[in-house]
Structure 1
Amino acid sequence: MFEIRKEGLAMAEGPNILVVDGETDTLNLINESLREEGYLFSTAQSAHKALQKLKGKEFEVIISEIEMPDMGPVEFLRRVRRISLRTRVIFLTDFANVQLTLELIKEGVYDYLKKPFLKDELKILVRKALQKGEAFDEGQKSALEIRGKFDRFIIGKSDEMRKVFAIIRKIAKTDLTVLIQGETGTGKELIASIIHNLSWRKNKTFLCINCAALSDSLLESELFGYEKGAFTGATSTKQGLFSAAEAGTLFLDEISETSLELQAKLLRVVENREFIRVGGTKPIKVNVRIIASTNRNLKKCVEEGKFREDLYYRLNVLPIFVPPLRERKEDIPLLIRYFLQRSGQYSNVKISPKAVECLLKYEWPGNVRELKNVILRAAVLCGNSKKIIPEHLPEYIRKLKKSSFPQSFFENLPFREARKRAIEAFERKYLQDLLYKNKGNVSRASKLARLSRPYLHQMMKKYSIKAQDYRN
C-alpha cells in the first residue's frame, strides 16, 4: 500500500483505489496521477490478485486494463460486483469495441478511458467515480424511497413495460447518450426525466426542448445560444440550453424533425461535447448528458436521406422503445386507478366493469396521454354518483365494436364492393385518429401522414370530418 502524506497530514482516511495493470509505463502514469491527487492506492498484476485484495479490503475505485491474461473484462466486472456493489470500475483500453462496451454497461461498469490518455483525463474520471460512490452510500439509505419514486411515475405490470423498467435502471447509471423511441403520448419525456433522476446528475438541471415546435434558426439559437451582434436584435450574449444544462441532462424531444444542417451541429456536440454559439468562433466545451426522442422510425429516415446516418448511430448507443398502449392493454386498469388516485379530488371515484370493457376495446392512438384525458373527463361527468359508467365515456369509445368490421359488414357483397367498403372504413378511422393525435392541427397531421394539405382536406370533406371537432 502506498500511503500518501500531504502538508504533513496522514491521508489514512482518504479513498482507496486499486490499480490493475501489467504495463509499467501505464502503471507509472496512473500512480503519478493518483499521488498528485493525494489518494491511497494499491496495485495488482492480475485480475485474480485484484479480486483477492478486494475481498480483504474495500476499494472505492478500481482502474483496470481491459485485456487481462487471466480473466475477461465481463467476468472480472461480475466478480467485482459480487464482492462489492459500491466499487466503481474504470477500464483502460486502446481499442473501440461497441459490443463489448454495451456488455460492460449492462454489467454495471462505471466508465472506460481510451489509451493513450492524459493525467487530467484520469483525474477527472476518478473524481467523478468517487463522487458517485458517495452518492451510492447516500442512496443505499433511501433505496426504497427511490424505488417508490420510480414506480410512482411509470405504471405498468405488462412484460413490455417490465423490460422498459429494467433497461432504465441499467442505463441510468451510465453517462452515455440515450435514444427513446415511441409514439406520441407514450411518456418519452417522463422516461427521460426518470433516467436523469436515477443518475448521478440528479441534483443538477434537467432541461427539455421540443425540436418540432421551433424553426431551424430559432432552435439553433435556443440550443447553442448566440453572441452579441450575431443578428438584428441580438443586443447581448445569450446562453443556450447546452450551457444551461451544464453537469445535468438535456432532453431533445422529436429530434427527427431537425434539419440536416442542424443535425451536423448536433453531431459535434454528441461526439466531442463542444459547440459554437451563433455568431461565435470559439468552441465551448460542455459536460451534459444527452437524451433524444422520436416518434418516427429513425432508421427509415436515414434510408430516405432525412436524417444523418452518423448522428443516428451516435444517438442509438442505448435505445429504449416505449410500447404503445394498444400493445399493453393489461396495464389499462392499473393506469385508470393511478390517474384517479393521483387526481386528488377524484380519488374516491370508481369505474364499472362495463366501462373498463369499453376502454379495453379501444386502440388508443393517443396512448397514455389520451387515456388520462378520457378518465379525468369521465370523472367530472359522473358527478355525485362517484362511479364511471359507459355513458360517461366519449361516444367514439362507447360505441366501438370489438371488431373493426361487424359480421354483417361484407354480407352478400361482391369482392370489389367489399374491398371498397373496407378501404373507406380504414380511411375514416385513420383520419379520425390522425386528427385526434394532432389536436385538429391539419398542417401537423398532413406532415405526419406525409400527405399534402389539399389532399387531406379533400379526404376530410369526403367523410364529413371537421378539424375543429378535434381541437378540444
Structure 2
Amino acid sequence: MVNVNNYDMEQEYISSIIGNSLPAKRLRHIIEQVAQSDAPILINGPSGTGKELVAAEIHKRSSRHHAELVKINCGAIPSELMESELFGHRKGSFTGAIDNQIGRFKQADKGSLFLDEIGEMSPALQVKLLRVLEDGRIRPIGAASEIETDARIISATNIDIDCAIEKGGLRADLFYRLGVVVIDVPTLKERAQDIGLLVEHFQKKHPKSRRFTLSIEAEKLLKSYDWPGNIRELRNFVERAQIFHSGEILDEFSASELIVQKPRKKPDNQPNQSAPTFKPFVQEEFNNIDMDEDAGEPVNLRELVEELEQQRIQQALNNCEGVIAEAARMLSLKRTTLVEKMRRYDLQIA
C-alpha cells in the first residue's frame, strides 16, 4: 500500500490524472514509480476509468518518452490479422501482402507498445506474444529469420483476471510476464471527491460562454451517483450539460435529467436492465415506419431489416468507441458474429 497521506499537491508533477482524492494521488504516485523502470505493466480496471490515459502518462514519464507510444486494441482487430499487425509481414507472404510491413512491435522500438483489451487476444497469439516477451525477438510473417525488438510493453484489460485465467481465456504464464507490475485503476465512484475538478477540466477546451457551473446540490447528486460508465460517462454528461445549460448554474433537477443511466431497482419478474440495450431503439425504428405509405406495394423486408441492423451495429460501435467486445455485449452477439456482420456490411470503426 502506497502512503499518500502526507502528499503535498503543490510538489506533485503536472499530470493528466486529475483529482485531489486519495485514489488519484496514489495512482499518480504509482505511475511516477513504475515509469522509471522498463518492466512490463498491466493496467486493470473497468471500462471508462482511463486505462489508456494511464499508459500514456507512464510513457511520458519514462526514459522512452522521446520515442513513440504505439497503441493497438486487441479487441478491435480480427484474430487472423492480429499477427501481421503485431509482428509485420513480408511482401507476398499471403494474399493481400503487396508490400513489407514492419508491425507494431518494430514501430514501437525504443519506445512503448500499449496492448489494450489484452484479454481478447486469441490463445494461439498469446503463445507467440509470450515467446517475444521471453527473448525479445519477433519473426514477421514470411520472414526467414527473427529480428530484435526493444519495446516496453504496457497492456490493459477490463476483465476479471483470475476468472479469465481459470476459464482459459488468459494464459497464466502470459499474465505473469505482462503483469510484473499490476496497476488497478480506481472507478469514478471510488474517487467521487474528484468529480467537481473533472467537470471543470472537461470544460477547459470550450469558451467560457459554453461552460456551466455546478450548484452545491447538483455536485452532491453527482457524487452520490454510481457512474457505471466511469469517467467516460461523466465526460458525456458534461457535453450534454454544455449543450442544454451553457452559461447557467446547473441545479440538482437539471443534473438528474442529464444522467442517462439512472439506477433502477429490478422487479422480481423482469429481466435484468442493468446492461445497456438497443431493443427500445429498435422498437422505435419500427414504430416510425409508415406502413400505410404505398399501401399494397411490395416491401423488401430483407433490405429493411438489413438497413436497421447496419444502423444498430454502427451505433453500438460508436458508443463503445470501437471496442468490438463491448459492442457485441451491447447487441447480445458473439464477438465473432459481430466481426462477420461488420465485414458483410463493410462497417468501419470510427
Pairwise TM-score range, normalised by the shorter structure = 0.7 to 0.9
* Residue number in structure 1 paired with 2:337: none
Quick one: which amino acid aligns to residue 74 of structure 2? C
The answer as to whether partners of 1:365 and 1:437 remain within 8 angstroms in 2 is no
Stretches of structure 2 lacking an aligned partner (at least 5 in a row): 3-9, 281-314, 335-350
Quick one: which amino acid aligns to residue 275 of structure 2? Y
The answer as to whether partners of 2:70 and 2:114 remain within 8 angstroms in 1 is yes
* Residue number in structure 1 paired with 2:251: 389
* Residue number in structure 2 paired with 1:320: 183
2:101 equivalent among 221, 230, 238? 238
What is the deviation of 1:162?
Answer: 2.0
Structure index of larger Rg = 1
Higher mean alpha-carbon deviation, 271-280 vs 286-295, is at 271-280
Question: Does the alignment pair 1:378 with 2:241?
Answer: yes
Aligned residues: 290
The answer as to whether partners of 1:374 and 1:394 remain within 8 angstroms in 2 is no
2:73 equivalent among 210, 213, 220? 210
* Residue number in structure 2 paired with 1:193: 56
What is the deviation of 1:284?
Answer: 1.0
TM-score (norm 2): 0.74
- Equivalent positions of 1:52-451 (< 5 A) are 147-148=13-14, 150=15, 153-345=16-208, 349-383=212-246, 385-390=247-252, 392-393=254-255, 395=257, 397=259, 400=262, 421-422=267-268, 424=270, 427-431=272-276, 439=319, 444-445=325-326, 448=329
Identity of aligned residues (%): 36
What is the deviation of 1:192?
Answer: 0.5
What is the deviation of 1:430?
Answer: 3.3
Stretches of structure 1 lacking an aligned partner (at least 5 in a row): 1-105, 107-143, 406-419, 454-472
What is the deviation of 1:287?
Answer: 0.9
Q: Check 1:166–1:450 CA distance in 2 against 1; reply closer, same or farther (3 A cut).
A: farther
Q: Check 1:286–1:358 CA distance in 2 against 1; reply closer, same or farther (3 A cut).
A: same
What is the deviation of 1:338?
Answer: 1.6
The answer as to whether partners of 2:75 and 2:325 remain within 8 angstroms in 1 is no
CA distance in 1, matches of 2:76, 2:240: 27
1:31-82 deviations in Å (ceiling 9; x for gaps): xxxxxxxxxxxxxxxxxxxxxxxxxxxxxxxxxxxxxxxxxxxxxxxxxxxx
Quick one: which amino acid aligns to residue 147 of structure 1? Y
Quick one: which amino acid aligns to residue 239 of structure 1? I
CA root-mean-square deviation: 3.2
Q: Check 1:279–1:173 CA distance in 2 against 1; reply closer, same or farther (3 A cut).
A: same
CA distance in 2, matches of 1:286, 1:197: 20
Q: Check 1:434–1:255 CA distance in 2 against 1; reply closer, same or farther (3 A cut).
A: farther
Q: Check 1:203–1:434 CA distance in 2 against 1; reply closer, same or farther (3 A cut).
A: farther
TM-score (norm 1): 0.56
1:406-460 deviations in Å (ceiling 9; x for gaps): xxxxxxxxxxxxxx82463x7123345999997389984585489667xxxxxxx
CA distance in 2, matches of 1:177, 1:235: 34
What is the deviation of 1:342?
Answer: 3.9
Which structure's residues are more often strand, by fraction? 1
CA distance in 1, matches of 2:164, 2:328: 14
Q: Check 1:442–1:206 CA distance in 2 against 1; reply closer, same or farther (3 A cut).
A: closer
